[in-house]
Amino acid sequence: MKVLKFGGSTLTGIQQIERVLLRLEKTIQSDSDIVLILSAFGGVTDQLMQLSQSAVNSDDAYLQTLEVIQKRHIEVIQAFIPESKQKDTINDTESLLSALKDAIHGVHLLKELSPKSLDLILSFGERLASVILVGCLSARSIPVELIDPRTLIATDDQFGKAKIEWESTISNVQKQLSGKTKVPIVPGFIGMTSKGEITTLGRGGSDYTATLIGAALKAEAVEIWTDVDGIMTADPKKVAKAFPIDHLSWDEAMELSHFGAKLIFPPAMIPAAQHNIPIYIRNIFHADFKGTIVGSGLDSDQPVRGISSIDQTALLSVQGSGMMGVVGIAKRLFGALAKNAINVILITQASSEHSICFAIAPNQADAAKKAIEEEFAFEISAGHMDRVNVETGVSIVAVVGENMRRTPGIASRLFQALAKNGVNVQAIAQGSSELNISVVIADEDEAKALNALHEAFFLSDTKSLHVFIIGTGLIGSTLLKQMGNQQSKLRSEKALDIRLMGIGDIDHMILDSTPIDTGNWQNILKNGPRMDLHAYITKMLNMNLPNTVFADCTGSADVVDYYKQILSASISIVTPNKIANSGPYSRYKDLRDTAAQKGVKFLYEANVGAGLPVISTLNDLVSSGDTIVKIEAILSGTLSYIFNSFTGEKKFSDIVKEAKAKGLSEPDPRDDMNGLDVARKILILARETGLILESEQVRLENILPESCQKAGDVKSFFQALEKADPQFAKKRDKAAGQDQVLRYIATLENGQATVSLKAIDKSHPFYALTGSDNMVVLTTERYHELPLVIKGPGAGAEVTAAGVFADIIRIANYLS
């Protein structure tokens, strides 16, 4: 035989109750050897609790809630029982409602709600639901019989969380339920003392009723029907990618339940485990799915089976030199807590015995502190022990699995996943059985930690990366296009799930808890609120997502001002924006130090050479112990094109006009030709080699005559440039006479950075450069005779965006 329990989540409304009735009808027709345990209709227990408090605290407001409860139950009768068959069920229901009203009225008159009175009131939820379901099933000619749980479940008088009297309960169940010809329906959650007083079994008490009856009747299984597909790998409300666990051992289920998994009440597993009766967790809305089986002999190859958490806890610390080596400290500490009925959730102690910390419910923190300080009053006054430190606003996250003890590296993976997402661990606990590892973290990091750990242990084949982008100009929009084009390929071939969570431009912004469609971002963004940079950054930080990257595709100094705050929140940054790295050296160093301290990445490959691997190559050389002797570089696509094309066939001014017409220069070519951008790039490269250099220390040659620099608008500039054509022709002719060409070169040598126009011969790699390509020549101790050459397009939206995109993927690889 089987025991089937239907929870309140399966009885929340007409549609849900219809599913339960159909399931029961089908089940009983195929196998009538079952016992049904019912919870109250969904939400009714909470309503009864509120009703009770209202009766104590107000005048007649509680009557309105009572009417709502009455109406809801009568509506169920009217929905499922033909009018001709409603009389008995309505009479029984109204009799219970009348008794409930009398009990509530008594509380109202006395203005006192004792635990005993509350148990009586709360019991009506299960009793009403069971009376009505008996009527509904009987109306369908299904043979069922209501059994009063007070005649079955014997308890002590600890109201609100009564303890089971085992022998009496087993005897009662066997006498009353064995050999029934009709299917027994038993209200869960309810018991009775030897004095005939109603008690309740506490949270999840209906599960307890089910397993108690299952154990007494030696059932083959207990099925707990709910509204989810079983016990999940994590709380699906906090971890969107959580999925059902097919099976768990008793110990694993106990641990997960203790640390927050809410589908099975921990004491409810004891009778089933003792009698080796498997528990099935099933979904009434997905009845064909097998759900989760909890039992013995269910081995798994997976080391971690689930992750659970308890939020809003308090962490108390007791420490002092007077604790070291003193026998009985722990006994006195936890004895003081036990005397005050304070339940301890987690305990951890330093091996030095200098400190003990433990977690409890926050509403017991003050009482715990008082009890401990009274117990150790002498030690505290003598200075042998500090006063108890209480820290609230913390959560406990537990990773559970029996095979963890046989799998090396579990703790390493756990702490690495937390560290890379900036989650600080305040306390750690692990039993010698290695069944679980528990950590105490800040409440605000709970969801981030759960998602990071879930991905580390259950989705290691797929890494999610949450991306926020500021700037949707040429580079930003191209980056978004590239991301959209590559998303499916990265997911299928690289197991990388890039999720766009935020976009902002100069006018609008949008940040969402669900990924933004990269194929429709323009329409989504234009309907977003007005851009507020501070609000954008604040919301991104408050979302506190794991594995997050911020991409700055602007040229704005305002965005750069937020870099340190972003890195400090353990969010990596990628950017083509040179302002942060070419400004004061102190800021450059501060950002790098912050990133290193927080274990995140600050990548800016596109600062120099767009998509060319210049900075990464340079960093690899330095990190591997090579010494940089000299850097020579052509770092401006505009100036590269101009001087590569300046062969004598065209005037210099005409070539500059061509560059502008082809989009190779800024609208005002002077912004490229003044060399400032090249100076910033060589400054960044100099700093990457380890030099402490400021921008004013870079020797910069502005190739434009003063008349061109001071010309007003662009038209005036070109007029002045035409007049300067002979000067440029003279420089070209002089170089050509020595079989040389002109190139605008950035050089770093002997600690000095220079940017100037130089004449070079055929032996130099820059001699044969064509088009608008950039080239960087690295002369090092290892690459001395034949320098290392990096060449390719150094400008343009496609290659620059590709450089930023490559940095994003590097961060994903680092996080995995």
142: Cβ–Cβ under 8 A, 6 or more apart, which residues?
Answer: 24, 25, 28, 183
Pairing of strands 190-192, 183-187: unpaired
**What length is written for the chain?**
816
Q: Where are the beta strands (DSSP E) in 295-382?
A: 306-319, 346-349, 355-360
Q: By the 8 A CB rule, do 425 and 246 touch?
A: no
Residue with tokens 């099935």: 280
Number of other CB atoms surrounding residue 611 within 10 Å: 22
Residues whose CB is less than 8 angstroms from the CB of residue 333 and which lie 6 or more positions away in sequence, other chains included = 318, 356, 372, 375, 376
Helix (H) or strand (E) holding 35: strand 34-38
Closest-CA residue to 324 (of 357, 348, 350): 350
Of 687, 578, 674, the C-alpha closest to 631 is 687
572: tokens are 């990596």
681 in active site: yes
Residue ranges in 38-86 assigned as alpha helix (H): 44-57, 62-80
Residue 339 has a CB neighbour count (10 Å cut-off) of 10
Give strand pairing partners of 741. Answer: 760
- Pairwise CA distance, residues 267 & 257, whole Å: 10
Q: Tokens representing 741?
A: 């060409």
Q: Which of 179, 202, 180 is nearest to 191 (CA)?
A: 202
Of 403, 411, 458, whose CA–CA distance to 430 is shortest? Answer: 411
Phi and psi at residue 699, in whole multiples of 5°?
A: -80, 115
Spatial neighbors of 173 by CB under 8 A, at least 6 apart, are 152, 212, 213, 216, 217
Name which of 599, 598, 577 is nearest 588 in CA terms: 577
C-alpha–C-alpha distance, residues 780 and 787, integer Å: 7
Select which of 681, 715, 723, 791 is catalytic. Answer: 681
**From CA 231, how far away is CA 244, in angstroms rounded?**
6
* Structure tokens, 296: 């013995």
Would you please indicate which residues are annotated as catalytic (active-site) residues? 681
